[in-house]
Amino acid sequence: MDHHQNLPQRLAQRQGLLKRLPAGVWSLRALLWFVLMLFALPAHSQGTGTFHLGPGDVVRINVYGHPDLTTEARITYDGKITFPLVGEVALAGLDTGGAETRLAKLLHDGKFVVRPHVNVLVQQYRSQQVSVLGQVNKPGKIALDTISSLTDLLALAGGVAPTGSDVVVVIARQKDGSIRKREINLDTMITSGEMAGNVAVANGDIIYVPRARMFYIYGEVQKPGAYRLERGMTVMQALSVGGGLTVRGTERGVRLHRRDPGGTVQTIEPGLADAIQENDVVFVRESLF
Contact 58, 143 (CB under 8 A): no
CATH architecture of 29-44+128-209: Roll (3.10)
pLDDT per residue, tens digit, the chain (289 aa), is 444 444 444 444 444 444 444 444 445 555 555 545 444 443 333 334 577 899 999 999 999 999 999 999 999 999 999 999 999 999 999 999 999 999 999 999 999 999 999 999 999 888 889 999 999 999 999 988 777 899 999 999 999 998 899 999 999 988 888 899 999 999 889 888 888 889 989 889 999 999 999 999 999 999 999 999 988 999 999 999 999 999 999 999 999 999 998 889 999 999 999 999 999 999 999 987 6
The amino acid present at 89, given as its one-letter code, is V
Quote the CA–CA distance of 221 and 171 in Å, as a whole number.
41
Q: How far apart are the first and last CA of the chain?
A: 74
Quote the CA–CA distance of 60 and 121 in Å, as a whole number.
5
Q: What is the per-residue burial (b if ≥16 Cβ within 10 Å, else e) of 27-49?
A: eebbebbbebbeebbebbeeeeb
Domain boundaries, the chain: 29-44+128-209, 58-124, 214-286
The model carries a pTM of 0.64
- Please list, in sequence order, all residues whose beta carbon lies within 8 angstroms of the beta carbon of residue 181, skipping any fewer than 6 positions away: 169, 170, 171
- Grouping H, G, I as helix, E, B as strand and the rest as coil, residue 179 is strand
Quote the CA–CA distance of 196 and 49 in Å, as a whole number.
17
Quote the CA–CA distance of 238 and 248 in Å, as a whole number.
18
Q: May I ask the CATH class of domain 214-286?
A: alpha beta
| Fold agreement between 29-44+128-209 and 58-124 | no
**Protein fold of 58-124:** wza like fold (3.30.1950)
Quote the CA–CA distance of 46 and 132 in Å, as a whole number.
23
* Nearest by Cα to 127 from 58, 183, 69, 187: 58
Quote the CA–CA distance of 91 and 77 in Å, as a whole number.
11
